[in-house]
Structures are given as C-alpha cells and as structure tokens.
Amino acid sequence: MVAPVLPHLTDSIEHLDGLLGQIAAAGATGVTVFGLHLRGSTRGWFMSWLARSHPELVGRYRELYRRGAYLPPSYRDTLRARAAPLIAKHRLAGDHRPFRQAPQAPGAVAPEAVQPTLF
C-alpha cells in the first residue's frame, strides 16, 4: 500500500516515480496507491500541521475535503491516472509474479489434496 499520498505534496509524477522505483527495487510485485483520508481527530491535527508547514495549501485542502474525510472522486481519478503508467513502468501491477511449482522426485506420487474442515 502506498498511502497516504498527500495532495499537492507527494502526488507529483516525479515523487511517485521515485517512490515506486524504490518499492520495486525492494522486491515488491504489486502496489495500491491511496490518497490521504482525514478522519476524526486526524483532520484537525493534519490541518494544523499544514497551516504551519504549508500555509499556501490550506485553501486547497479545505476545498478537497469540504465534503468529508475522503478525497473527491475527481481527485482519486486523477491520482489513479497519474500512478497507473508508473505502476506499469516499475512492474508493480501484481500480474507478473512467477509461479514455480516445487520439483517432484522421479517416480514420486503427488499427495492427495485434503479438504480442510472448520470443525
């Protein structure tokens, strides 16, 4: 999970490209990218931090989160569109994981599958 992506702070193509490159280099084979959620007391704490650290973004964040804790669908679509080619570039779509079945000794009989039970 690549989360939280902070609107106008960590959502640039350059930032995401570098981050996804590092994630791929670390051996990941798939990612999901999520924008920041501002639920409960997190909202007040984050907005106070934003006002101190990036006062120029306070208005943008108020607009983005005016309807609640989650980013609007338009921003989520933009983030998804921005991340998708980078996910493909770094082969993090999760669809290329190699599957290798353990080799079986010559003449060995495969064990019969056992259906597990709940009780």
Q: At what angle do helices 73-89 and 13-25 cross, to 10 degrees?
A: 50
Indicate whether this model's pTM tops 0.85. no
Cis preceding-peptide flag for 55 (omega within 30 of 0): no
pLDDT in tens, 32-56: 999 999 999 999 999 999 999 999 9
Q: Is the pLDDT of residue 66 over 60?
A: yes
Distance, CA of 57 to CA of 66 (rounded, Å): 14
Upper half-sphere CA count for residue 112 (Cβ side, 13 Å):
2
In the chain the first and final C-alpha atoms are separated, in Å, by: 34
Mean pLDDT of 103-107: 68
Considering the chain, what percentage of its residues have pLDDT values greater than 90? 78
The larger pLDDT score, comparing residue 99 to residue 32, is at 32
